[in-house]
């Protein structure tokens, strides 16, 4: 008979710390993050971060925060030792960045760790030195109020982990990214970042986000950034800066989102941001945003992940839709067209030497599509532009182009003459672009892109308020389908009807197409109906009706609109511009291409060497 031995035992504290470190401390940047959070929680107004070898050799963070007394210096290295929460209700009313009380213990367990702190103005503090979590030395030292943490040889006692660290520039860029995020969220705090004794970032105290954003990401980006504050003063509130659709990046790296001042990278929030930009950006392009969501701490659980990057909302859908709606409020009117941005003067003491951070996509200036509007000089206010075209009589063009009379969209701007209405048409180039003048600037309007957006917005509107106007075919078109397409068509007949297609079974797998959307008059739409039905089929499974209907409407808008290479009379051109002013999101076609480009007089003069 075998005796059963107890095989379960409690792990020693030092091992627990190492395990916890595995979650919290992945690389030097994670240490920087935790130390910065502590400095900010301590109310620091100045923080100096020094790194050597990308942080692999040394990470040193010094702050002028409130510091710790002797007892706290010792306690701070214990696991689950924190001054920030004391009972579980505190978890849902967090006012601090930290609360788990494990960072210092974890970091100390995998490094050579020195902590110095002073909580008084007497200039006498306490220091403690630990190796792999074991305290080696502790003594008093002279120190002004504040805290210094030095972390040397990260993972020196976990060689397997150390091997995972990347090259110096990569680790540095991750650390710089962490500093960037904290600096965006705390414009009134000075941050300095040194690497191998070279000053990479020198961020002075700023009054607000705009200035801090400019100092971090480049002043030239500012003019393409829109302010958002929705709804101002409310409890659930979204503030910050979001890029116009023409300023984009090839990755999500410049979507900075914060909840109650804490940087987070959350799936729901990320999705909401992209949904806010839906149909405004080209495929594979992402906006630049620094967005701050303020929400009742009881409505969000931060304690989901050790690094606190993900969160859980009580009412996920509500927060999601709030973000989408807020972004669209700012993007929909495309106000930036009416008020072309004024030049932002280059900062005299610009801070980041752009060659010094090995992260071109963080600090490199904007790469825009096309010669877009970089205004070399302040421009007259839009209000001074004389409206040059009193309402021209509606042409056939305006009613047939998108199949709907313009009046169906009750939008006030047309009364005053919006941006496009005020443009003076000079002519048409290559039967594809309208050449226009806006005061001194030359404006090119892509007629196809313009028409696509108009068609799409009108269809979307018509669909939303009932159904898309349709038109009976003189001779029904017989569609002979394969089994799958026939099933899809049969199943979605009602939805197709709302989209303007009337189909009837015609025996077997055949259908008679009896009416089609007005917008598609004179087009061969046999294949389109099938495409639409198959698209609807996908919806059933994915359950994302709205998104898919939009795709269908874009498909229809594309088929329906005038193409490039179509001569337009001036009247037709004017009608097109007027229609643009009557719709939402008029700056981009639904695939995200820009509708217009601006060349300033200065830019034109430069082309002719007159400047
Ligand atoms: P947490 O931040 O979750 O409380 P940490 O292990 O990061 O846990 O820190 C433990 C405690 O040490 C903090 O609660 C705080 O009281 C103190 N502390 C850490 N860093 C600083 C600092 N830079 N200034 C003042 N106090 C600090
Ligand atoms: Mg902490």
Distance 35 CA to ligand 1 centre (A): 8
Integer Cα distance of 490 and 493 in angstroms: 6
Q: Is residue 99 lining ligand 1, measured as CB closer than 6 Å?
A: yes
Long-range contacts of 421-425 (CB under 8 A, 24+ apart): 421/387, 421/389, 421/577, 421/578, 421/581, 422/385, 422/386, 422/387, 422/388, 422/389, 423/388, 423/577, 424/388, 424/389, 425/570, 425/573, 425/574, 425/577
Closest listed residue to residue 535, CA positions, set 493, 488, 501: 488
Beta carbons of 44 and 157 less than 8 angstroms apart: no
Compare 259 and 564 and report the one with higher pLDDT: 259
Burial of 471 (0-12, 13-18, 19+ CB in 10 A): middle
Assign 562 a pLDDT band (cuts: 50, 70, 90). Answer: low
pLDDT at 360: 34
Assign 478 a pLDDT band (cuts: 50, 70, 90). Answer: very high
Q: Is residue 306 lining ligand 1, measured as CB closer than 6 Å?
A: no
C-alpha distances in angstroms, 31 versus 112, 173, 227?
A: 13, 14, 32
Q: Is the pLDDT of residue 347 over 50?
A: no
Whose CA is closest to atom 19 on ligand 1?
38
Whose CA is closest to atom 25 on ligand 1?
67
Report percent pLDDT > 90 for the chain: 58
Distance 194 CA to ligand 2 centre (A): 22
pLDDT at 344: 47
Beta carbons of 133 and 55 less than 8 angstroms apart: no
Q: Is residue 30 lining ligand 1, measured as CB closer than 6 Å?
A: no
Pairing of the two strands 596-599 and 502-505: unpaired
Integer Cα distance of 262 and 185 in angstroms: 7
Closest listed residue to residue 307, CA positions, set 24, 32, 597, 63: 24
φ/ψ bin of 339: left (φ > 0), alpha (ψ from -120 to 50), beta (otherwise):
beta
Question: Is CATH 3.30.230.10 correct for 210-331?
Answer: yes
Q: Is residue 147 lining ligand 1, measured as CB closer than 6 Å?
A: yes
Distance 41 CA to ligand 2 centre (A): 8
Q: What would the pLDDT profile of 385-408 be if each residue is shown by its tens digit? A: 333 333 333 333 333 344 444 444
Tokens 């929680």 found at: 41
Q: Is residue 454 lining ligand 1, measured as CB closer than 6 Å?
A: no
Task: Decide: helix, strand or coil at residue 49.
Answer: strand
Distance 43 CA to ligand 1 centre (A): 11
Beta carbons of 133 and 14 less than 8 angstroms apart: yes
Long-range contacts of 332-335 (CB under 8 A, 24+ apart): 332/584, 332/585, 333/584, 334/584, 334/585, 334/586, 334/587, 335/226
Report percent pLDDT > 70 for the chain: 85
> What dotted CATH number matches 13-203?
3.30.565.10
pLDDT at 539: 62
Q: Which atom of ligand 1 is nearest to the CA of 119?
A: 25
Mutational pocket test of ligand 1: of 40, 61, 98, the residue with most ligand atoms within 8 Å of the beta carbon: 98
Please give the average per-residue pLDDT across 6-18, as a whole number. Answer: 82
Integer Cα distance of 604 and 611 in angstroms: 9
Closest listed residue to residue 421, CA positions, set 576, 583, 577: 577
Question: Is CATH 3.20.20.10 correct for 387-611?
Answer: no
Pairing of the two strands 510-517 and 502-505: antiparallel
Assign 339 a pLDDT band (cuts: 50, 70, 90). Answer: low
Distance 240 CA to ligand 1 centre (A): 29
pLDDT at 46: 98
Which tokens hold the place of 502?
């009337």
Q: Is the pLDDT of residue 514 over 50?
A: yes
Q: Is residue 17 lining ligand 1, measured as CB closer than 6 Å?
A: no
| Mean predicted lDDT score pLDDT of the chain | 84
Beta carbons of 500 and 529 less than 8 angstroms apart: no
Integer Cα distance of 273 and 289 in angstroms: 9
Pairing of the two strands 255-259 and 190-195: unpaired
Q: Which atom of ligand 1 is nearest to the CA of 102?
A: 6
Integer Cα distance of 53 and 195 in angstroms: 8
Q: Is residue 42 lining ligand 1, measured as CB closer than 6 Å?
A: yes
Q: What would the pLDDT profile of 362-373 be if each residue is shown by its tens digit? A: 333 333 333 333
Distance 284 CA to ligand 2 centre (A): 36
Phi, psi values for residue 19, rounded to 5°: -65, -45
Strands (E) in 447-600, as ranges, are 470-480, 502-505, 510-517, 596-599
Contacts of 122 (CB under 8 A, 6+ apart): none
Closest listed residue to residue 167, CA positions, set 68, 8, 27, 288: 27
Long-range contacts of 425-433 (CB under 8 A, 24+ apart): 425/570, 425/573, 425/574, 425/577, 428/567, 428/568, 428/573, 430/564, 430/565, 431/564, 431/565, 431/566, 431/567, 431/568, 432/564, 432/565, 432/566
Which tokens hold the place of 440?
């001194």
Distance 44 CA to ligand 1 centre (A): 12
Distance 151 CA to ligand 1 centre (A): 15
For the full predicted model, state whether its pTM sits above 0.75. Answer: yes
Domain range summary for the chain, segments of one domain joined by +: 13-203, 210-331, 387-611
Q: Is the pLDDT of residue 409 over 70?
A: no
Q: Is the pLDDT of residue 160 over 90?
A: no
Distance 149 CA to ligand 2 centre (A): 12
Integer Cα distance of 80 and 192 in angstroms: 30
Q: Which atom of ligand 1 is nearest to the CA of 146?
A: 24
pLDDT at 394: 32
Whose CA is closest to atom 7 on ligand 1?
103
Assign 294 a pLDDT band (cuts: 50, 70, 90). Answer: very high
C-alpha distances in angstroms, 340 versus 225, 368, 372?
A: 12, 16, 11
Q: Is residue 266 lining ligand 1, measured as CB closer than 6 Å?
A: no
């Amino acid at each position: 008979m075998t005796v059963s031995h107890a095989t379960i035992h409690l792990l020693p504290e030092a091992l627990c710390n190492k395990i916890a470190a595995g979650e919290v401390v992945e690389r030097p940047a994670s240490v920087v993050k935790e130390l910065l959070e502590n400095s900010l929680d301590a109310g620091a107004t100045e923080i100096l971060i020094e790194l050597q070898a990308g942080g692999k050799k040394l990470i040193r963070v010094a702050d002028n925060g409130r510091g710790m007394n002797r007892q706290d210096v010792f306690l701070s290295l214990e696991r689950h030792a924190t001054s920030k929460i004391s009972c579980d209700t505190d978890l849902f009313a967090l006012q601090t960045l930290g609360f788990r009380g494990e960072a210092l213990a974890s970091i100390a367990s995998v490094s050579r760790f020195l902590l110095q702190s002073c909580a008084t103005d007497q200039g006498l503090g306490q220091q403690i030195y630990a190796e792999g979590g074991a305290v080696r030395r502790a003594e008093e030292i002279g120190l002004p109020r504040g805290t210094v943490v030095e972390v040397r040889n990260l993972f020196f006692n976990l060689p397997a982990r150390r091997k995972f660290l990347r090259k110096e520039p990569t680790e540095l860029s991750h650390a710089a990214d962490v500093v960037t995020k904290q600096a965006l969220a705390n414009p009134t705090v000075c941050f300095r970042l040194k690497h191998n004794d070279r000053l990479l970032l020198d961020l002075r105290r700023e009054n607000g986000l705009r200035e801090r954003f400019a100092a971090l990401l480049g002043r030239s980006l500012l003019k393409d950034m829109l302010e958002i504050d929705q709804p101002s003063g409310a409890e659930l509130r979204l503030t910050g800066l979001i890029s116009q659709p023409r300023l984009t990046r090839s990755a999500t790296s410049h979507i900075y989102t914060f909840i109650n001042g804490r940087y987070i990278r959350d799936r729901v929030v990320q999705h909401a941001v992209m949904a806010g930009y839906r149909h405004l950006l080209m495929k594979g392009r992402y906006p630049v945003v620094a967005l701050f969501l303020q929400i009742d701490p009881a409505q969000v659980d931060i304690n989901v992940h050790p690094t606190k990057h993900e969160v859980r909302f009580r009412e996920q859908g509500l927060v999601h839709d709030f973000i989408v709606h807020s972004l669209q409020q700012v993007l929909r009117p495309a106000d930036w067209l009416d008020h072309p941005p004024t030049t932002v003067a280059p900062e005299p003491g610009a801070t980041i030497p752009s060659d010094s951070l090995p992260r071109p996509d963080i600090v490199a200036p904007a790469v825009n599509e096309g010669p877009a509007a970089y205004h070399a000089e302040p421009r007259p206010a839009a209000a001074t532009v004389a409206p040059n075209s009193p309402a021209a009589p509606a042409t056939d063009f305006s009613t047939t182009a998108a199949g709907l009379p313009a009046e169906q969209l009750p939008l006030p701007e047309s009364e005053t003459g919006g941006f496009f209405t005020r443009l003076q048409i000079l002519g048409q180039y290559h039967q594809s672009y309208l050449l226009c003048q806006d005061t001194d600037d030359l404006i090119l309007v892509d007629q196809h892109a313009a028409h696509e957006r108009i068609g799409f917005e009108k269809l979307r509107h018509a669909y939303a308020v009932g159904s898309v106007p349709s038109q009976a075919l003189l001779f029904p078109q017989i569609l002979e389908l394969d089994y799958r397409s026939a099933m899809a068509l049969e199943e979605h007949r009602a939805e197709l009807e709302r989209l303007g297609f009337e189909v009837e079974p015609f025996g077997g797998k055949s259908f008679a197409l009896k009416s089609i959307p007005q917008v598609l008059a004179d087009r061969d739409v046999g294949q389109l109906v099938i495409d639409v039905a198959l698209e609807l089929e996908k919806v059933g499974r994915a359950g994302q009706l709205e998104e898919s209907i939009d795709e269908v409407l874009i498909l229809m808008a594309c088929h329906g609109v005038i193409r490039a290479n179509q001569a337009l009379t001036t009247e037709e051109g004017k009608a097109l511009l007027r229609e643009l002013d009557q719709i939402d999101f008029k700056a981009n076609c639904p695939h995200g291409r820009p509708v217009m480009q601006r060349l300033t007089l200065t830019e034109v003069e430069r082309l002719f060497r007159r400047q």
